[in-house]
Amino acid sequence: MSVLPLVFTSGWASGINAYAVVLLFGVFGATGLTDEVPESLQRTDVLVVAGVLFLCEAVADKIPYVDSIWDSVHTVIRPVAGAVVGALLAGQNGSLPELAAGAVGGSTALLSHFVKAGTRMAVNTSPEPFSNVALSLAEDLAVAGIVTFALFHPVTAAVVAGVLLLLGLAILVFLAQRIRRFLRRRSQRREEKRLAGAGARSRFRPPPDDDGSAHF
């Protein structure tokens, strides 16, 4: 079977949490649960670095506004990670050119990254921090579950990842429209208050003194 479904799923997951993808693939390959993982992802140094960075992301991803800064930094990192993982999987399998696999993995990671980053920016407008924690945990569980499922049922997992990607894009467009309308209404209210204040000041402004000079 072509490795394309696995590449697509790993790209989607990399756009959400690239370090978790590398860590999961490496652990599954090192423990012998699957032979689909290239040896370069099973190296001890790669697993240690991925594990440390995963822990850093697990903390930063749950703090309001810190998560958005983290997402901004990873706008390049996540698509590159998706492309590299896709190319490595293709090279291991040999059923798909590595360049094509890298393009699929990188572009899919970029789209899912935009969904994640945009959704987090919308969630950060909420005053309470619990929504960030809940959303971050849901993303971590989704990545772990779908990547694990993809190693044994790649086609089904790719379908699920595709549905989640389309759903995320639709939600992102919806949130963007709502935020745009909210900002427009707030701007209109501020303008109305400014005009009302200017009108009130003009009504209560005392008339200028008349010293009689106007009659001459």
For the segment 39-98, what is each residue's pLDDT rounded down to a tens digit?
999 999 999 999 999 999 999 998 888 898 999 999 999 999 999 999 999 887 766 788
What whole-number percentage of the chain has pLDDT above 90? 52
Report the distance separating Cα 175 and Cα 1, nearest Å: 38
Predicted TM-score of the model (pTM): 0.81
Q: Which stretches of the chain are DSSP H helices?
A: 4-30, 44-60, 66-93, 98-123, 130-152, 154-203
The tokens for 56 are 């850093």
Residue-level pLDDT at 187: 76
Quote the percentage of the chain above a pLDDT of 70. Answer: 84
Can you tell me the mean pLDDT for 159-170?
A: 94
92 vs 138: CA distance, rounded Å: 30
Q: Which is it for the CA torsion 24, 29, 33, 37, positive or negative?
A: positive
What is the overall mean pLDDT for the chain? 85
Q: How far apart are CA 114 and CA 204, in angstroms?
A: 52
**What is residue 46's predicted lDDT score, i.e. its pLDDT?**
93
| The pLDDT of residue 198 | 62
Residue 216 has what pLDDT?
42
How far apart CA 20 and CA 161 sit, in angstroms, is: 16
Task: Output the six-digit token pair for 3.
Answer: 């490795």
Q: How confident is the model over 92-142, as pLDDT tens digits?
A: 776 678 888 899 999 999 999 999 998 888 887 776 667 888 888 999 999
Which region among 87-96, 170-179, 184-193 has the lowest average model confidence (pLDDT)? Answer: 184-193
pLDDT the model gives residue 203:
62
According to the model, what pLDDT value does residue 215 have? Answer: 47
